[in-house]
Amino acid sequence: MKKVFRITLVLVFIALFVATFAYLYSKSKKKPIVYEIKNPEITNIVKKTVATGSVVPRKEVAIKPQVSGIIEALYVEAGQKVRKGDLIAKVRIIPDMVTLNNAESRLKRAQINLEDAKMVYERQKKVYEQGVIPEAEFQQYRRDYNNALEELEAAENNLQLIREGVSKKAGTATNTLIRSTIDGMVLDVPVEVGNSVIEANNFNEGTTIASVADMGEMIFKGKVDETEVGKLKPGMPLVLRIGAIENETFDAFLEYIAPKGKEENGAIQFEIKAAVKLKDKTFIRANYSANADIVLERADSVLAVEESLLKFEKDSAYVEVETSAPQVFEKRFIKTGLSDGIKIQVLEGLSKEDKIKGPEKKNTPENQDKKG
């Protein structure tokens, strides 16, 4: 009985040894790696660049006064539509004291000269009517009287202009009434009633009373990097995405490319302008920030693969194509074309039926055993 027990115990130990060895051998044996299979596809490839900028009115005018003074009244506010010639504001002139004093003095001298010329004229007129002096001599006295009248009127107008900015001869025309110079919408009124304003002249651009723009014609103003500007040309289509207007795009066409770039943050940027095609039901406000997709190159209905599948040897690109045996791949060199950064066009070397080696599968039992 004891002999049978010992034989059984020995057999159990041998079985455990064999099982342990078999288990360790199976664990040490390298498991096959399974790769995903990718197929070429027929698709459209679009290479584009993105320009950042804003949408602004094509025509925006700053309304400035022609006289210096104080804002006496404002007739518009931001957002209001105006027509050419509509009143924007009224300016009350604050005359210079020296100029005002000279004008008043000139008026007094003109009044004195007129009184003297009138007395002489009336006296000589009686003498002329009696036939004592000839007409040629009387004509000189009449001319002096008329000149005195004209000088008085000129002095009065000059004083009125200095005080009020308008004369009797000018009628309703006056520099104190500021009017819109274009049809459009008032974008901004940066002054208030009581603010002092400066006239526009050769030495000063003047105080802006209001900004008026035609909101029916908008353009996109943006910047592109010097590495992309050489590929642009007027007339190219753009697709605008405005940050404030979600889920909507706008068509635009490139009109202008700056001939000179400017350095910004260590890079040379070139300004571009594009005409925006507006939509009837969507109102675009001035200075909305926007991004413009500019199509540089395009290839429609071409054979393409994912660019991540490509491998390189020297200056040549290749992919690994599955042979007739599953998960067995061979190297195949290909000729590539246009790329959008994700997919790349295949010109030669592949067909739509080829199976290309992709990344390693992560959820197969073999690969999970390998990780374990």
Q: What is the pLDDT of residues 219-254, one digit of tens each?
A: 999 999 898 888 888 988 899 999 899 889 999 999
Q: In the prediction, which pLDDT does 31 show?
A: 64
Q: What are the 10-residue block averages of pLDDT along the chain, 372 residues in total?
A: 67 72 61 80 87 93 88 92 92 71 80 84 80 81 86 78 60 71 94 89 87 94 90 89 90 93 90 93 92 86 88 86 84 88 88 85 57 46
Residue-wise pLDDT for 116-128, tens only, equals 888 888 888 887 7
Residue-wise pLDDT for 293-334, tens only, equals 888 888 888 999 888 888 888 888 888 888 888 888 888 888
| CATH homologous superfamily, domain 49-57+215-297 | Efflux pump adaptor protein, beta barrel domain (2.40.30.170)
What CATH number labels 35-46+300-371? Answer: 2.40.420.20
Assign a CATH topology to domain 60-87+178-213: OB fold (Dihydrolipoamide Acetyltransferase, E2P) (2.40.50)
Handedness of CA 354, 360, 365, 367 (dihedral sign): positive
CA-wise closest residue to 262 among 220, 224, 288, 236: 224
Q: In the prediction, which pLDDT does 95 show?
A: 67
Contact assessment for residue 94 and residue 182, using Cβ atoms and an 8 Å cutoff? no
The secondary structure of 156-168 as a DSSP string is HHHHHHHHHS--T
Q: Which residue ranges does the chain devote to CATH 2.40.30.170?
A: 49-57+215-297
Cα distance between residue 11 and residue 282, in whole Å: 89
Rounded to two decimals, the pTM is: 0.61
Using CA atoms of 248, 251, 256, 260 in order, give the dihedral in degrees to the nearest 10.
Answer: 40
Q: How far is CA 248 from each of CA 149, 220, 239, 279, rounded to the nearest angstrom?
A: 72, 16, 10, 10
Residue 252's DSSP bridge partners are 238, 276
Q: In the prediction, which pLDDT does 79 show?
A: 92
Q: Which residue ranges does the chain devote to CATH 1.10.287.470?
A: 97-164
